Each structure stands twice: as C-alpha cells, then as structure tokens.
C-alpha cells in the first residue's frame, strides 16, 4: 500500500472517530432536557380563532388544604417567550412574600415551527390594519379566553375565577388593555408592558374615550409601564395620563417608566413591579 493511500485511510478513520465522539456528546443523544419543575403543557384548538394553542401550566407547590381552596391565576400572553421569565420572576416574589401562590398559564401556538410574530399579530390586535392582512382577531381571541380556556383551567385545576390576572407586552399589552376596556370583570388585575398604543390609528385612545362616555367606574387594578428609551415611551405616558385624568371610580392604577430600558429589556422589571402592584394588600 502506498504512503498516500495509508495517509488517506488514517485521515478518514480519524474523521470518523471525531464524528462519533461529537454525536456521543450531542444534547439530543442521551442528555435530558431542562424542564421547569411543576409545569406541563396541553394543546387546545379554538373554535373561535380556528387556531391551535399550546397552553403552558405551572401549578403551585402547595397542595390545596381542602376541596374549596383555590389559587389566583396569572394568564401570560406570548408564552413562548415570557412563561419562563415569569417562572423566575414569580419565584423571587413568592419567596420574598410579595405575592401569594398562584397558577401561571402561558399561552402560545402549537406546531413544529409556528410563526409567532405573525400569529400574535392576528390574535392580539383588536382591529385590522390594511397593510397587515389577517390582523384584527382580538375579539375572537378574547372569546377564546372567556369561553374555551377559562373553562378548561377552572374545571381541571384549583383556579379562583375571581382572581384572574392578564399580562402582556407590546401587542400583548395592546390586547391586555383592549380586554380591560371591553369586559373589565374578566380579570381583577391587568399588567400591560409597553402596549402598542399607536396601533390602529390610536385605537386604545378611541376605545378608552368611548368607555368613559358610558361608565364612570373601572373596578380593576391596572399596571402600565414602558421603557425609558423606546419608541413607545411618549404615547404610553400619554395614555396613562388620559386614564388617570378620568378619575375612574374603583380603579387602582400604577404607571412606571422603566429607567434605561428599551422595548424588550424592560419586561423583567415591568412584570415584577406589575405582579407586586396587582397583589399588594
């Protein structure tokens, strides 16, 4: 055998050895994934939106003392991003005794490769925009929460239907405020981080004005926040000022500008402060 052939044979054997070693160390081959303790997921197909959702569920660590004991329920939009974040935020707040034990529900989309940005733009927008085909399914998504998701959670878990909280950021924040002004009694607390208040030709401003013309009370706790250095800072501050100036009866409102943060980076503090406010005594 020639020296050249021997060199090629040895090189191929070495490459095969490296490949086998790499495969043996692959996380997909023998290593367990990292999971969030106490959580699981379910799949739910909506008759309202015609979409399939993955529902992430984190249960309290405490076992109910009796059949009548119920826990508050936090519904988190954009669960694909924010469910894991809320698990950590909540863990710290509960340890420090700022919030009670609760059930956390993360809402996201099912499928192999869901287009989260596109799907959320359909569900979280209360009206359609001409340059965004498919938008405007907010009313259908609200009906999905009310008529399909709430019954699933409240039938199968120790969920207190008088202590629901809705939380969302950006388009999720837009939907959170839309839901509050549409049917405020669905949740007792609303946490809206960087809500897209300019969407739909300032839809939220118009909706709030119409609400104020019909009702003088707004019996909820609302936490409204925005990053100090993002494009939505001015309009969110303006919306907060409008709501405060109404003087709604029974409204408990806190607004906060998250110092030094932009659109996405303000969420950890916004969610932390929001939960503390909603559950403060």
Query: Tens digits of per-residue pLDDT, 33-69?
Result: 888 888 999 999 999 999 999 999 999 988 777 778 8
For 5, the token pair is 């052939």
Instruction: Please compute the mean of the pLDDT values over residues 234-240 and round it to a whole number.
Output: 97
Looking up residue 147, the CATH number of its domain turns out to be: 3.40.50.1820
- Position 29 scores a pLDDT of 67
> Does 4 score more than 80 pLDDT?
no
Judge whether 225 lies within some domain: yes
pTM of the model: 0.88
**CB-CB neighbours of 90 under 10 Å:** 21
Residue 33 located in a structural domain: no
The SS3 assignment for 188 reads: coil
Q: Residue 223: which domain range? A: 38-279
Inside any domain, residue 151: yes
> How much is the mean pLDDT over the chain?
91
In whole angstroms, what is the distance from residue 198 CA to residue 232 CA? 8
Tokens of 142: 């609200």
Residue in the structure block whose two tokens are 């501050």: 237
Q: Is residue 26 part of a domain?
A: no
Domain count, the chain: 1
| Predicted local distance difference test score (pLDDT) of residue 2 | 56
Instruction: Tell me if 264 is assigned to some domain.
Output: yes
Q: Residue 174: pLDDT above 60?
A: yes
Q: Pairing mode, if any, of strands 39-45 and 71-76? A: unpaired
- Residue 214 domain-assigned (yes or no): yes
Task: Confirm whether 176 is domain-assigned.
Answer: yes
99-130 burial: b if 16+ Cβ within 10 Å, else e:
beebbbbbbbbeeeebeeeebbbbbbbbbeee
Q: What angle do CA 9, 12, 18 make, to 5 degrees?
A: 140
pLDDT of residue 80 exceeding 80: yes
Residue 19: its pLDDT value, please? Answer: 47
Position 261 in a domain: yes
């Amino acid at each position: 055998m020639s020296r050249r052939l021997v060199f090629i044979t040895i090189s191929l054997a070495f490459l095969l050895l490296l490949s086998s070693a790499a495969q043996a160390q692959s996380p997909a081959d023998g290593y367990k994934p990292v999971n969030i303790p106490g959580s699981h997921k379910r799949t739910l197909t909506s008759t309202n939106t015609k979409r399939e959702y993955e529902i992430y569920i984190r249960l309290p660590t405490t076992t109910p003392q009796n059949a009548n004991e119920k826990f508050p329920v936090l519904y988190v939009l954009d669960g694909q991003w924010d469910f894991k974040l809320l698990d950590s935020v909540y863990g710290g707040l509960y340890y420090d005794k700022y919030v009670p034990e609760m059930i956390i529900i993360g809402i996201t989309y099912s499928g192999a490769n869901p287009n989260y940005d596109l799907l959320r733009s359909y569900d979280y927008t209360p009206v359609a925009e001409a340059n965004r085909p498919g938008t405007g399914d907010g009313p259908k998504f609200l009906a999905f929460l009310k008529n399909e998701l709430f019954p699933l959670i409240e039938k199968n878990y120790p969920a207190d239907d008088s202590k629901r909280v809705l939380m969302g950021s950006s388009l999720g924040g837009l939907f959170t405020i839309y839901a509050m002004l549409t049917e405020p009694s669905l949740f007792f607390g609303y946490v809206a981080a960087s809500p897209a208040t300019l969407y739909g030709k300032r839809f939220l401003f118009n909706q709030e004005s119409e609400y104020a013309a019909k009702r003088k009370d707004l019996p909820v706790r609302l936490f409204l926040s925005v990053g100090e250095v993002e494009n939505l800072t001015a309009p969110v501050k303006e919306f907060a000022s409008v709501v405060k100036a109404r003087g709604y009866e029974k409204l408990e409102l806190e607004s906060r500008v998250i110092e030094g943060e932009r659109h996405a980076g303000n969420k950890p503090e916004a969610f932390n402060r929001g939960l503390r406010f909603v559950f403060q005594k």
